[in-house]
Amino acid sequence: MKKTATLTFSDGSPSIELPIEQGTYGKPVIDIRALAAQGYFTHDPGFTATSSCNSAITYIDGDEGLLYYRGYPIEELAYKSDYMEVSYLLLHGELPTAEQKMAFVQSIRHHTMLHDQMENVFRGFRRDAHPMAVMVSVTGAMSAFYHEDMNIFDPKQREIVAHRLIAKVPTVAAWSFKYNEGQPFVYPQNRMSYAENFMHMMFSTPCEPYEPNPVLARALDRIFILHADHEQNASTSTVRLAGSSGANPYACMASGMASLWGPLHGGANEAVLKMLDEMGDISRIPEFIARAKDKSSGFRLMGFGHRVYKNMDPRARIIRETCYEVLDELDLRDDPQFKMAMELERIAMEDEYFISRKLYPNVDFYSGIIFRAMGIPTSMFTAMFALARTAGWVAQWNEMLSDPAHKIGRPRQIYTGSTRREFVPIDRRGA
């Protein structure tokens, strides 16, 4: 028999029976939709206890520290797969056959270039514009290039949107960097893998031949896999909410990027490096830990804690290992920042404040150290996250629109403003 929950009222109003839904995995979910018809809403700022959709894409068990894409553990995908396969998996629900993979990679390659006029969009920015500001704008601007010809309710057209975004966002990210540097834009090189091509667009110049380092390319590809999706986080929920009105998908992705940019979300990787820079030396760790524990300081240990993970973020474990590989490859094993990060993690993990609140290092804690070692500047870190998350955003957007029951997202509120009052003419105000 299906489990239900009964809501009773202290004033004797009739109780309400609510169905309890159970997903493949995860906690039981009380379906509260019947409440609206009975004249009640629920209140959950920050959505700490609210499920917003059915989704078959990603599963997180925050207590156990598990992350699955379409049922596959992140560890298996990170070590045995590649970002192209994972993007296909997120979009289509299954790993591709060799033939399907070839066709997918071919299609992504076909879409890597930006419309020539998009260069003008870049050129409108100041040279010192933050790459995320440029990414949000240029990705949003894609909606001006691909709009009239698109029917988002046609699965084939949604697939083209997905391929265009996965293919073009690395070009947008790399060009945001090139524009900052005052270097010429580098066109995509379709003989290269996804990660290699990104490195080529970031680091090559017309003056010299460039061959991406395969160890670094593999590490980058792994980082892309780790960031590819993370169920209904702030940016993904933003993409879904924006897309729920039927809005242009490129504009929806831009809204997701804007949400990701914040320091509590994807902006944390940049904030971690700034924090380590400010710390400067291992001897100052206790001072920073004390500040993080002092609520009046307004300071948090960046790269620690997660809304869902109350155990080690499985991505952080893989990224720490990848960090070793990259630093070894670059002969930077004694990198003082890496040592400082390891020591900070060790000290925090022995501290009662962090233990009792289950605050563990998250995915952003080590990624910045890898990016910096590769020569990617701090201001580009969140752009790297956005690049990788594009596959997840577009898969979630596609899933939402494929659902015939999908509705426009429209939360309610508790109104705490003034009661009805009469309009006061300006000459009688303040009297």
- Amino acid residing at 303: G
- SS3 percent helix, strand, coil of the chain, rounded to 5, is 55, 5, 40
> Does the protein bind ligand CMC through residue 301 (CB under 6 A)?
yes
Stretch that binds ligand CMC, among 127-135, 200-208, 261-269, 333-341 (CB under 6 A): 261-269
Question: What residues numbered 25-44 form the site for ligand CMC, per CB under 6 A?
Answer: none
Distance separating alpha carbons of residues 42 and 20, to the nearest angstrom = 16
CB atoms within 10 A of CB 279: 17
Q: Catalytic: 331?
A: no
Number of residues that bind ligand CMC (CB under 6 A): 19
Per-residue exposure over 375-402, b if at least 16 CB sit within 10 Å of its own CB, e if not = ebebbbbbbbbbbbbbbbbbbbbbbbbe
Q: Which two tokens stand for residue 97?
A: 């056959």
Question: C-beta of 264: minimal distance to ligand CMC in Å?
Answer: 4
Q: Catalytic: 364?
A: yes
CB atoms within 10 A of CB 311: 15
Question: C-beta of 160: minimal distance to ligand CMC in Å?
Answer: 28
Q: Catalytic: 265?
A: yes
In the chain, the largest separation of any two C-alpha atoms, in whole Å, equals 80
What would you report as the CA-atom Rg of the chain, rounded to the nearest whole angstrom? 24
CB atoms within 10 A of CB 268: 27
Q: Among 186, 217, 363, 376, which residue interacts with ligand CMC (rule: CB under 6 A)?
A: 363
Q: Which two tokens stand for residue 178?
A: 């090139």
Stretch that binds ligand CMC, among 17-25, 218-226, 236-244, 258-266 (CB under 6 A): 258-266
- Amino acid residing at 139: T
Distance separating alpha carbons of residues 4 and 187, to the nearest angstrom = 58
How many CA atoms lie less than 13 Å away from 373 in the CB half-sphere? 28
> Does the protein bind ligand CMC through residue 355 (CB under 6 A)?
no
> Does the protein bind ligand CMC through residue 292 (CB under 6 A)?
yes
> Does the protein bind ligand CMC through residue 81 (CB under 6 A)?
no
Q: Among 357, 402, 403, 424, which residue interacts with ligand CMC (rule: CB under 6 A)?
A: 357
Which CB sits closer to ligand CMC, 218 or 389?
A: 389
Question: C-beta of 267: minimal distance to ligand CMC in Å?
Answer: 8
- Amino acid residing at 312: M
> Does the protein bind ligand CMC through residue 264 (CB under 6 A)?
yes
Given a contact cutoff of 8 angstroms between Cβ atoms, the answer to whether 112 and 170 are in contact is yes
Query: Pattern of binders to ligand CMC over 309-348, x per CB under 6 A?
Result: ----------------------------------------
Stretch that binds ligand CMC, among 27-35, 142-150, 274-282, 356-364 (CB under 6 A): 356-364
Pick the catalytic residue: 111, 265, 335, 351? Answer: 265
Question: C-beta of 401: minimal distance to ligand CMC in Å?
Answer: 24
Whole-number Cα distances in Å, 305 to 313, 371, 377: 9, 21, 24
> Does the protein bind ligand CMC through residue 307 (CB under 6 A)?
yes
Footprint on this chain of ligand CMC (rule: CB under 6 A): 233, 264-266, 268, 292, 300-307, 357, 359, 362-364
Residues belonging to the active site: 265, 306, 364
